[in-house]
A and B are shown apart, each in its own frame.
Chain A
Amino acid sequence: MDLTRLTAHELTDAFRAGTVTPSAVAEAYLARIAALDGKVRAYLTVTADLARRAAAASDARYRAGTPLGPLDGVPISYKDVLSTRGVRTTCGSKILEHWVPPFDATVVTRLGAAGVVPLGKSNMDEFAMGSSTEHSAFQLTANPWDLARVPGGSSGGPAAAVAGDLATISLGTDTGGSIRQPGAFCGVVGLKPTYGRVSRYGLVAFASSLDQIGPFAKDVHDAALVLRAIAGVDPADATSVDEPVPDYAAALRQDVRGLRVGVLECAADGMDPDVVRAVREAIDVLKSLGATTQPVTLPTADYGLAAYYIIAPAEASSNLARYDGVKYGLRTPGKDLIDMESRTRAAGFGAEVKRRIMLGTYALSAGYYDAYYGKAQKVRTLIRRDFEAAFEKVDVIVGPTTPGVAFKHGEKEDPLAMYLNDIFTVPANLSGNPGVSVPCGFSANGLPIGLHVVGRAFDEATMLRVAYAYEQATSWRARRPELV
């Protein structure tokens, strides 16, 4: 039995049956990371000591017959944008290279209380700005399906970790598609919850009106278990919403009879025909499972990307003002305070982060606010109305997660070409709706393709039910990348 291939629910079944221990699984992962992460480069920091200590405590709980729940003893990787007390948290940036948070993010606290085993911190585009993880200041991460290709981004490290069996589950963040797009590129499940569903306390902020934390998993069942563990209101995050958190795993069903599936007509320049075919076949599977389908349109969604590239950089330019060389992070000396700040930020930020700070500062500067930020916020309202109108007729909306499959390192040098990767994922960030990418096949050259399922706000349960029914009716998960 290859322990690193098992899902979280398969692992905890085995722990309860006593056929394997959390420590044995943790050791299997640490050995695999030592042997293979040199190829994938998913991890920035491996926390072997913390993992062994957590696994030993989990061993004892299973021995005593008192496990904490369905994730006790399950190995996890955290995107390096999530604060971990006593463990450096870099955000993929030189400016935070040596930052050691004095607190845990709420999601880290909650999963710790659920008994997970933390393997380490995984790579990302600097400050979560990017779609390939190539903007990390530290290393390029490889796609486990083809090491010459990107894992997607910005959560490329956590996605590659799960795809490469270097973690059972992981947490990423999604501001414009940064969980769903790498989920699609790496052939794993990637879930962005509804805005407000999961506390962002301890998440290093990028664009506060869009950021959400969510899981990567080897299957939909695992994603449901992790969402249940991290969701719910938190007094430390005033934007978290006090909505009941259902038992998502218990709500999974193998049929979708009676559900109304809206099919989004997705057109984009350079759309990969393999993606079009795989998504069409996935919709046929949903029909065969008893769902009714109808075409839906989101007329304003085509403008989503343009609105996003005003709103996200504007909020980022404000959020990243805190990196001034005073309270934490890098400092580069200067002749006075402003000179010190300007030199620190020039030395500490990479090209993409500088570009977005500049774009955002410009969009918010005197005389331009109404033309850019104000306009983008109004467009955001129109996109929300599009979703509301569509969800009067259907229960979920499906389409491709991305226009194409994983591209090669260095292939998208032009910033705008990179941004276009997010064209299908961005609208759900602007509207706040939950979305999940579930594997739905492979391109002719063997690269994974993702089906994007979007649900009503706070109705992740129905969205997951559709993703689960599809996954159970297909066998894409049987195909695995070979790293050795």
Chain B
Amino acid sequence: MIERKDVEHVARLARLALTDAELEKMRDQLNGILAYIEKLNALETEGVEPTSHAVPLVNVMRDDEPGPCLPRDEALANAPERAGEFFRVPRIIED
């Protein structure tokens, strides 16, 4: 069973500022979904290779040649805040 403190921890990891009501509801709903997922434990999977991808593609390579890329102004056009040629973010480093 997931407890309230687990939900708070996961919300911090996921960078989601959840309200008290959301945290409570999330705990109940996650417990319901995880109870359903428990049915996987009925299957024996000892020694089975995991599938991460439906198509067995490995290391798709191309020649390392420069090509056109997105112009800087277009890349910045959707930024919530910019400063000249940069994305502007809240201060990270302390004085």
Contact = CB atoms under 8 A, between A and B. Distances in A.
A306 B16 contact: no
Given A303-B43, A306-B40, A331-B81, A377 B52 contact: yes
B37 interface: yes
Interface in B49-95: 49-55, 57, 60, 62, 70, 74-75, 77-81, 87, 89-92
A100 B30 contact: no
Interface string A336-376: 11111111011001010011011101100100000010111
B54 A209 contact: yes
A152 interface: no
B1 interface: no
Q: How large is the interface on A (under 10, 10 to 19, 20 to 34, 35 or more residues)?
A: 35 or more
A307 interface: yes
Contacts of B9: 365
A342 B16 contact: yes
A238 interface: yes
Nearest to B55: A196
B57 A382 contact: no
Given A326-B89, A340-B90, A241 B57 contact: yes
A407 interface: no
A381 B56 CA distance: 12
B50 A342 contact: no
B43 to A, nearest CB: 6
Interface of B: 2, 6-7, 9-18, 22, 26, 29-30, 32-34, 36-37, 39-43, 45, 48-55, 57, 60, 62, 70, 74-75, 77-81, 87, 89-92
Interface of A: 98-100, 102-103, 194-196, 209-210, 235, 238-239, 241, 300, 303, 306-307, 309-310, 317, 321, 324-331, 333-343, 345-346, 349, 351, 354-355, 357-359, 361-362, 365, 372, 374-382, 384, 414-416, 419, 429-432, 457
